[in-house]
Amino acid sequence: MNPKITQQHHSKPAYIYIRQSTLAQVRHHHESTERQYALKDKALALGWPETAIRTLDRDLGQSGAQMAGREDFKTLVADVSMGQVGAVFALEVSRLARSNLDWHRLLELCALTHTLVIDADGCYDPGDFNDGLLLGLKGTMAQAELHFLRGRLQGGKLNKAQKGELRFPLPVGLCYDDQGRIVLDPDDEVRGAVQLAFRLFRETGSAYGVVKRFAEDGLRFPRRAYGGAWAGQIIWGQLSHERVRGLIKNPSYAGVYVFGRYQYRKHITPQGDVRTHMKAVPKAQWRVHLPEHHEGYITPDEFEQNQVRLARNRTNGEGNMLNGAAREGLALLQGLLVCGCCGRAITVRYQGNGGIYPVYVCNWRRREGLATRDCMSVRSNLLDAAISDAVINALRPAELELALTALKELEQRDQAIMRQWHMRIERAEYEAALAERRYQECDPANRLVAGTLERRWNDALLRVESIRTEAAQFQSQKARVVTAEQRAQILALACDLPRLWGAPTTAAKERKRMLRLLIRDITVEKLSGQRQFVLHVRWQGGVCTDITVNLPRPRPEAIRYPAETVEQVRQAARSMSDPQIVARFNQAGLRSPYGKPFTLAMIKWVRFRYGIAPACLTRPDELTVQQLASRLQVSTYVVYYWIDRRIVEARKIDGRGAWWITLDATKEHQLQNWIRNSGHLQP
């Protein structure tokens, strides 16, 4: 009996901790596991009864590098801390922990609670200085051993990877041949699906665009299963956005052998646990990069272009000044404009009722508190029209060639989609034929087997008919079969590029994608003191051109009558009445600032606004109603009575305004006699 083991230790249970690092070791290395279970016999020999021995074996297949995932080790530490354990049995120190943090924490708890640590070499009391020092050295060696093992394994993997011989799971569309070389998948349907995904990414310019097209056309995408009963088999299903991103960002499709794209990093959770996560490594830090290692689906140049396009499609702007894919908004220059004042990207704001009027705005300096007003703000249609004209002029010499190329690309894409449907039908027919052969080869008398195989055969036949129906519906509704007449019409329309550009059927998103193919960016400069913008266009080929855009006048100035019109009214008012001025202006084809013919109210407003007196159209011998009433010493009602009864001759200028009365000496003498002889009128 070891003198370190006392009755106090025997009064508490003994814990036997069993662990293997991986499940493969559990399955194949049985001797180590058996030796650890045999520690129970050692505990019995040291005086612990069988009922006081507890075996902790739930951590089989868990690494000892950290505590996370090791539930039995957590239980052991908790029970030791509460003084409920007499001794901890382990085959060796590395079974308990390969981390100095976890190991020394356990030793400190064992020392505080007088718990023994027993391994194959002896019995140790962590509270004793010599035993504690020895256990600490053993823990350090266990952690160092893990480092050496990992270093040797990683060194071997790196050496093999540098020769391009390290095998790892390949993405769908690639596989290993009998000699271990990476080749394209021999399955035509799998290759066609991968090729179609890259083709659609070139056309749509975004990962979501590829997903949308696959969903609209009813296409499936393959996925290779890893592990389990379906390991190595191809499973067909819907294409997701994450899978498209993985497809575009994987250099293996460009024929490049890469090792070290990802690294495992550790972090501490809010709960205090140490977790390991995988993080992408920048391309410059890839440990192995072997171009032209195998046949790929795209070229390395196209792979780099795809990475740039994905980066520009990001909406958070990290790493990009200009970002965002072509979207459905009406602003054609979205994502292309740079402010000539602050150098930031110009954003789009939609204003008006329903937000249908796009405006280009640069408000970065104001948002950051560096200025009190925006750098610039301009309606999108002003800049869009200028850039559209420049693009049309640039493309005009190559209209026919572009039309033929676009039509050919459209036909090839539709043919690729139909090939996917045909190969899907062929696969379903093969599975149906295979189910039929299996049914024919079974014993008809064995109904337990024959019934199941017959049901599978019927299901396969129904699946074939269903796929054929879906393919026929797609071909009748979405597939484009261009006839000779339709081809001629398309080419005729394509030759008229301005008409095609402005056609209602041409979506704003398609116009934006065309602009991005030709233009890299546009720097917008606002000329101080002038209502002009200068667009510095940088084309994809490197050529730079400047386009000047004149801004319309402000609304108050736009609806103000020009000085020439005011002067014409002033000259005409000297000898003409307002209706005569209206007739003269309209006959001459003059228009108001609103673009409408002149009216009497407009002429009167001009005279009132600019103080233009009306023409003096009265004769010297004419009198007003008040003047005549004062001369004859009667009321104005009497004068109006005379006018109404046509006793006096009166007129209104242009049929409106005040009455003007013509009175000669004879008529005046007659009226005076009438007043004297009247019984109602008293002079």
Contact 338, 346 (CB under 8 A): yes
Q: Which two tokens stand for residue 358?
A: 């796009």
Q: Which two tokens stand for residue 658?
A: 């005040």
- Decide: 195 and 416 in contact? Cβ < 8 Å: yes
Q: What is the three-state SS of 198-266?
A: HHHHHHHCCHHHHHHHHHHCCCCEEEECCCCCCCCCEEEECCCHHHHHHHHHCHHHHCCEEECCEEEEE
Residues 6+ apart with CB under 8 A from 195: 297, 416
Which of the residues 11, 21, 380, 630 is marked catalytic?
A: 21
Phi, psi of 549 (to 5 degrees): -120, 120
Residue 476 bears catalytic tag: no
- Alpha helices (runs of H) in 396-523, residue ranges in sequence order: 399-441, 447-477, 484-495, 497-501, 508-518
- Going by the DSSP 8-state scheme, the letter that residue 614 receives in this structure is P
Instruction: For the chain, give percent helix, strand, coil, nearest 5.
Output: 50, 15, 35
Pairing between β-strand 53-56 and β-strand 14-17 as defined by DSSP bridges: parallel
CB contact set of 462 (below 8 Å; sequence gap of 6+): none
Q: Is there a contact between 262 and 279 (Cβ–Cβ < 8 Å)?
A: yes
Residue 150, Cβ density class (10 Å: 0-12 exposed, 13-18 middle, ≥19 buried): exposed
Within 8 A by CB and 6+ apart from 142, the residues are 64, 92, 93, 94, 97, 98, 103
Structure tokens at 396: 């005009």
**CA atoms of 542 and 499, how far apart (whole Å):** 28
Q: Exposed e or buried b for every residue in 443-476, given b needs 16+ CB within 10 A? A: eeeeeeeeeebbebbeebbebbeebeeebeebee
Q: Taking Cα atoms as reference points, which of 7, 19, 139, 18 lies closest to residue 86? A: 7
Q: Where are the beta strands (DSSP E) in 583-681?
A: 622-623, 649-652, 659-662
Q: What is the CA radius of gyration of the chain?
A: 47
Give phi and psi for 420, each to the nearest 5.
-65, -40
Strands 274-280 and 288-290: unpaired
Q: How far apart are the first and last CA of the chain?
A: 158
Nearest of 662, 639, 636 to residue 649 by alpha carbon: 662
**In the structure encoding, which two tokens stand for residue 564, read together?**
């020439």
d(CA 358, CA 506): 18
Which helix (H) or strand (E) is 184 found in, with range?
Answer: strand 182-184
> Are 521 and 336 spatial neighbours (Cβ–Cβ below 8 Å)?
yes
Which residues are marked as active site?
A: 21
